[in-house]
Amino acid sequence: MNELEHTAVSKEFVTDKEQLINEIMNENGDAVLHLVFTYVKNRTIAEDLTQEIFIKCYEKLEQFNHQSSIKTWLYRVASNHCKDYLRSWHYRKLVLNEKLLDFIPSKSKDVEGEVIDKSLETSLTNAVMELPIKYRELVVLHYYEELPLAEISEITTVNVNTIKTRLKRAREILKEHMKEEV
């Protein structure tokens, strides 16, 4: 292959890669932002981390081995990136002191329904956001993203039975919290 052919193939690969990452971002951008927000509880930081996650995915796209769905791979990258961020010096020293609580971005297009349910949703959202991360991430992946337990296990590298136990415990905590609200 001469240099001109190699350059053409390289440009085609980059274009295909860019198209693929654009599709992934369009299809999963809001879901990833939501997942990231559940870790950091700050909309601005969640948006920044989501951008970093998609940059990382673009750079590592060749490493995707098709053993799982692209969405599962993306969620695993996002989850790991968030956990790294939460362990970082920046988070521990600067952000942790802010304790900002923002609302979880909604997937719903029904504005009227959102207004009617806002009080209960806010209370539940706050309760979910107060859960320890080991419960919170599972609640979001299972109930909000509606992922099956096996896929959640793949994303979090936690045993399915452990996930079931943690979800049960999270429901109990949330139920107690909601009883106190009423």
pLDDT one-digit tens code per residue, 72-129: 899 999 999 999 988 887 666 555 444 433 444 555 555 555 554 566 667 777 888 8
Residue 61 burial (CB count, 10 A): 16
Long-range pairs for 154-159: beta carbons < 8 A, 24 or more residues apart? 154/68, 154/72, 154/76, 155/72, 155/75, 155/76, 155/79, 156/79
When pLDDT is averaged across residues 21-28 and rounded to a whole number, the result is 91
Q: Judge contact between 141 and 155, C-beta under 8 A.
A: yes
Q: Judge contact between 36 and 78, C-beta under 8 A.
A: yes
What pLDDT does 100 receive? 38
Quick: pLDDT tens for 153-172: 998 899 999 999 999 999 99
**What CA–CA distance (Å, rounded) separates 39 from 76?**
13
**What CA–CA distance (Å, rounded) separates 92 from 87?**
7
Confidence of residue 26 (pLDDT cuts 50, 70, 90): very high
**Domain layout of the chain by residue ranges:** 1-105, 107-182
Identify the H or E element spanning 151.
Answer: helix 149-156
**Domain 1-105 CATH class label:** mainly alpha
Pick the CATH number of 107-182 from 1.10.10.2120, 1.10.10.10, 2.40.128.110, 3.40.50.2300: 1.10.10.10
What pLDDT does 114 receive? 53
Q: What percent of the chain has pLDDT over 90?
A: 33
Q: Is 79 helix (H, G, I), strand (E, B) or coil?
A: helix
